Amino acid sequence: MKKADLIILSPVIFTGFQDETVSGMIAVVDGIIEYVGSNDQFDQYKSEKTKVILVENGMVVPGFHDSHIHLYLAALYESGRFIVCKGDKSEEECVKTLFSRVSYVDKEEWILASGWYHPIWNPRQLPSHNLLDAFFPNNPVCFLSEDCHSLWLNSKAKAILNVKQDREVIHDLEALLLLKEIMTQAHVDEEDCIKNYIQKLNQFGITSVCDMAIIPDEQEDFVKNACYETLLAKKELHIRIQMYPALTDSFERATMMKQKYDSGLLTFGGVKLFFDGVSSCHTALLIEPYSNPYFDNDRGSSVIDQSLARKRVQEAQKLGYSVRTHTIGDRAVKELTEIYSNQSESRTYYNVLEHLENIDFADFDRIAHNKIVACVQPQHLVMDVKGVLEDLGAKRMHTMWPFRTMLDHHIILAFGSDAPVVNGSVLDTIANAVTRKENNQMESFFENECITIEEAIIAHTYGSACAANREHSVGYIKKGYYADLTILDRNLLLEENRNNADEIIDTDVSYTILDGEVVYEKNLKKNTKMN
């Protein structure tokens, strides 16, 4: 018997198998879990070189897996290159906040900002360039909305980008393509930025992420594979990254990535398809019109025609690629469910619907029966309940983020953050799913759709592993699986903790372990660097 490199002793080990917990130990050999069970085997695995971690009052869970993140853009936010301005209640307040946070910049330098959200403004209306021009006459300003789907520019920025001056706000894919152009002009140390942000993710207990394309552009979709490759070569990639480039007419980039990246830490996961927009801009595709329509029969729109979406999915399936599709509105979910459902029955991997914020309950059974994973972002449900009510009306509110109903229909839930739209905190995500509120002072948003703490942890581990088609190597604490583990400082399964939003959110990660190596320890200063 080989001796263990690492042994963890804990009174509570949540394995990820339904509600299974073990009191005892985990033994790790060469980065792989060798044993999970009672402490009786401690002497068998212990040597003088074995690192031992004693968990006294907390619990061990599988390493958390963020199944939907925009890694590079989130890293930019965290680095300070974007000035984040959230929560302002008017256009004027928003511009003044930005002005107060801008230090000296050269005349031609881009000012990059994010966080404005017009649904919470009074009055609720899209901004114009006038105020930005008044406060920033000399610098081009790029101001990205909180949901990352709308771009607010001043006149100087419009002139540089050849955008007509009468176009006040650019939405969805056009906005993101412009963002790509802006980023080519704004010089950023990508490698250092991403490296530091990965440390932040480790702090959250995250050992794996699914890095999702943010732009349907094959050459630059913000999936920074070359940068990740460099970090891997330097042995500074302290997280598993599953990459999902944009699904376009050409599969050249996807094919290259599939052939090149399969290291265990850096892998090709599949392709990302963009189908609709977001409710706040009335671009999410709905069955029935918006409750506060901008025009007659305002039902949102699809980014691409359904027949073209079907063709691209079929082509991806022939190549054996998992397809993950941005679908927020109930009609978007319905159309992609139908497309997925008509693919080859011999398919052995999961396809994924992303977001599913509004869903027709009639589609649940088809989703469950056709190896479709629902990748959802519970933090979104507490962002703007009032805005959702105005856009979709009271009748449709019960169809928003119906996690309990999804699980009852045996749909696999995968949790992600969608960072930088929200922060990447796993415990915030879990608390929002379990309590459907932001803190104990708030009322739950449709309490009947709450899920248990066990179900939420599974969604952020095994469920997310299914979305990445890696459920046979990560997502469980099981012999033969990668030793990706997260140690929390309290037992969330205790009755006094399990439904307490504040207790869940206030839980700290004590250790994050990747391949049997500690990549974050709470009291170890070198691992807590944050920009």
pLDDT in tens, 213-261: 988 877 778 999 999 999 999 999 999 999 999 998 889 999 999 999 9
CATH 1.10.3430.10 fits 82-185, yes or no: no
406 pLDDT more than 50: yes
Q: Cα(277)–Cα(390) distance, rounded to whole angstroms?
A: 17
Return the number of other C-beta atoms located less than 10 Å from residue 523's C-beta: 7
Q: Cα(15)–Cα(25) distance, rounded to whole angstroms?
A: 11
pLDDT in tens, 363-388: 999 999 998 999 999 999 988 888 88
Which residues, 6+ apart, have CB-to-CB distance to 273 below 8 Å?
Answer: 247, 309, 312, 313, 323, 324, 325, 326
User: What is the model's pLDDT at position 311?
Assistant: 95
125 Rama sector, left if φ>0, alpha if ψ -120 to 50, beta otherwise: beta
What average pLDDT score do residues 7-34 get?
96
Question: 327, 306, 305, 309: which is closest to 317 by C-alpha?
Answer: 309
User: What is the model's pLDDT at position 526?
Assistant: 38
528 pLDDT more than 60: no
User: What is the model's pLDDT at position 343?
Assistant: 75
User: What is the model's pLDDT at position 295?
Assistant: 93
Tally the residues of the chain. Answer: 531
Which residues, 6+ apart, have CB-to-CB distance to 84 below 8 Å?
Answer: 77, 113, 114, 115
pLDDT in tens, 285-338: 999 999 999 899 999 999 899 999 999 999 999 999 999 999 999 999 999 999
Query: Which of the pair, 206 or 170, is modelled with greater confidence?
Result: 206
Q: In what order do the strands lie in the sheet with 351-355?
A: 271-274, 323-327, 351-355, 372-376, 413-415
Break the chain into its structural domains and give their ranges. Answer: 6-63+482-522, 82-185
Share of the chain above pLDDT 90, in %: 75
529 pLDDT more than 60: no
Would you give the DSSP letter of residue 12?
Answer: E
Q: Cα(228)–Cα(245) distance, rounded to whole angstroms?
A: 14
Flag whether the pTM goes above 0.85. yes
pLDDT in tens, 158-177: 999 999 988 889 887 788 88
User: What is the model's pLDDT at position 385?
Assistant: 85
Q: Cα(117)–Cα(114) distance, rounded to whole angstroms?
A: 9
Q: 6-63+482-522 belongs to which homologous superfamily?
A: Urease, subunit C, domain 1 (2.30.40.10)
Which residues, 6+ apart, have CB-to-CB distance to 145 below 8 Å?
Answer: 114, 115, 116, 117, 118, 151, 152, 280
What average pLDDT score do residues 53-72 get?
97
Q: Cα(270)–Cα(267) distance, rounded to whole angstroms?
A: 9
What average pLDDT score do residues 4-28 get?
95
User: What is the model's pLDDT at position 527?
Assistant: 37
Q: Token pair for residue 154?
A: 């001043």
Which residues, 6+ apart, have CB-to-CB distance to 192 below 8 Å?
Answer: none
Angle, CA 252 vertex, CA 246 and CA 254 arms, to 5°: 45
